[in-house]
Copies of this chain bind each other. A is one copy, B any other.
Amino acid sequence: MDFFSLFVKDFVQQLQSPTLAFLIGGMVIAALGSELVIPESICTIIVFMLLTKIGLTGGIAIRNSNLADMVLPMICAVVVGILVVFIARYTLAKLPKVKVVDAIATGGLFGAVSGSTMAAGLTVLEEQKISYEAWAGALYPFMDIPALVTAIVVANIYLNNKKRKEAANSIMKTVAAGDYPDRKEYPSSRQEYLNEQKGDGENRVKIWPIIEESLRGPALSAMLLGLALGILTQPESVYKSFYDPLFRGLLSILMLVMGMEAWSRIGELRKVAQWYVVYSVVAPFIHGLIAFGLGMIAHYTMNFSMGGVVILAVIAASSSDISGPPTLRAGIPSANPSAYIGASTAVGTPIAIGLCIPFFVGLAQAIGGV
């Protein structure tokens, strides 16, 4: 019952946090027929500033870390970030009537990291006097950024294949009707159609242009630019005076916009909402356990502390409420924000903070005797 009351308390607090409050506010004013409009050019610059800040934060954290010590836990973080997206791709996305892009975006958000969940985890470790590496907090960009990049790339690959399939299908119908078109694309499209049947194996060659395309898109190029500037240059003065202090405020405007957008698409979720709830309750534990397992390998081979293993599990269990939504809005515009933000902030985060943190701390104490 204590777990349950913690969960409810955290759920109510989440609803009152500016991120979710502005999202719900946007849905409410859209429902009431408000004529409020945030100009598109403003959304563009807000997304740019948010993603540059996310990249800068990660880049500065990486520059200030001792990479040699971190190498194995870092690899664990990257692997978990990528894996989480593929888990969503092959579980949530396969459920009846769930849209594949929505599921991939949700996976991206659950792979990305919530700074506040991580902070809550660090606080609990300190309260319980469980020691951990000082650089453990710097692991988060190594899970956060790969998860978001993977989600965007996987979504683009899916959308690309879908388009080809549709093109191939329409050609097949044309062919069946005896109407042979005089087009160069025909055999290639046919090949693609066959590839679809055989699976992804033979398709790999064509994935690279899509990855390149994703990286060149406005979302990832802003984020990777920030990352590179954070690692290679000294952007601290603009980071501290501009990108960091404005972040939450700009996010609140974007959340409002996303709330208004979400309202117009909330009907899509009527028949699948239960799957998102199931996913959001189960996934944080699965992701956390995978990270915990990988962390244990680092514990036995590299003497990575048990506190560090818990942090790795907690950031895997967490789902992003801050860095994820603007990135996915720009990177996978066709995904429905009601699905991925709803799943992440309304269910995933309370589960992660209220249930997963105590669970993984308890697990570490039981196993490692800390």
Contact = CB atoms under 8 A, between A and B. Distances in A.
A159 interface: no
Nearest to A255: B238
Given A237-B18, A248-B241, A218 B36 contact: yes
Nearest to A13: B234
Given A16-B233, A44-B37, A238 B243 contact: no
Judged by DSSP, the binding face of A is helix
Contacts of A237: 18, 248
A127 interface: no
A21 B233 contact: yes
A217 B35 contact: yes
Interface in A236-251: 237-238, 241-243, 245-246, 248-251
A326 to B, nearest CB: 14
Contact of A216 (B32, B229, B241): B32
A15 interface: yes
Interface residues of A, number: 51
Contacts of A218: 34-37
Contacts of A238: 18, 22, 248-249, 251-252
Copies assembled: 3
A228 interface: yes
Interface in A264-280: none
A240 B169 CA distance: 56
A16 B229 CA distance: 9
A251 B242 CA distance: 10
A225 B29 contact: yes
B38 A234 contact: no
Contacts of A256: 225
A22 B29 CA distance: 33
Contacts of A40: 39, 41
A161 interface: no
Interface string A10-36: 000101111001100100110011111
A225 B249 CA distance: 15
9 contacts: A18-B238, A21-B234, A21-B235, A32-B221, A35-B216, A35-B217, A241-B248, A242-B246, A242-B252
Interface of A: 13, 15-18, 21-22, 25, 28-29, 32-42, 44-45, 48-49, 216-218, 221-222, 225, 228-229, 232-235, 237-238, 241-243, 245-246, 248-253, 256
